[in-house]
Amino acid sequence: MVALAIGLTTVAVFAASARAVPPVTTTQPISATNVELDGLCSFPIDLSFTGTVTSTKFFDQDGNLTKWISHFTEQDTFSANGKTLVSDPYRTNIQRDYEAGVFVALHVDGVFVRVHLPSGGVFVVAGQNWHVGYTIEHGTNGDVAAFCAALSA
């Protein structure tokens, strides 16, 4: 009797996994030039970036999207007043959760920028940000004054 129960459970598990829609993974380059950043400093900053994003979408047995995870590797260039700062390459992760194909939560974590400043300091923004009907944030927002001073006239 126990063997029959184990056998039926095994068949049910394999049947369910056979119907599941496999994950779909894509990798593509990302880039932009001359994106104007306003509000960070008292002057506009031009942002250019290059990188790659690898995204994987997960589905339930009915084909509904359940999770979408993206891993970004990016490098930024900031320009203003004839000065330029280039970031280290950095990694950021974004996870979007879905229930029955409907978006319900967003989780962002990693480094969002890391720039070595001419003064010897580092401007880094890193942490976590979760949106699940409310926002939880953990991390550091960097020394904006030192970043702006490095790009000022």
Q: Average pLDDT in the 66-74 region?
A: 96
- At CA 109, angle to CA 71 and CA 126, rounded to 5? 115
Tell me: the pLDDT tens digits for 91-118?
A: 999 999 999 889 999 998 888 889 999 9
Helix (H) or strand (E) holding 149, with range, is helix 144-151
Q: Break the chain into its structural domains and give their ranges.
A: 22-151
Tell me: the pLDDT tens digits for 36-63?
A: 888 889 999 999 999 999 999 999 999 9
Under the banding of pLDDT at 50, 70 and 90, the label for residue 128 is: confident
**By three-state DSSP, how is residue 144 classified?**
helix
Is this structure's pTM higher than 0.85? no
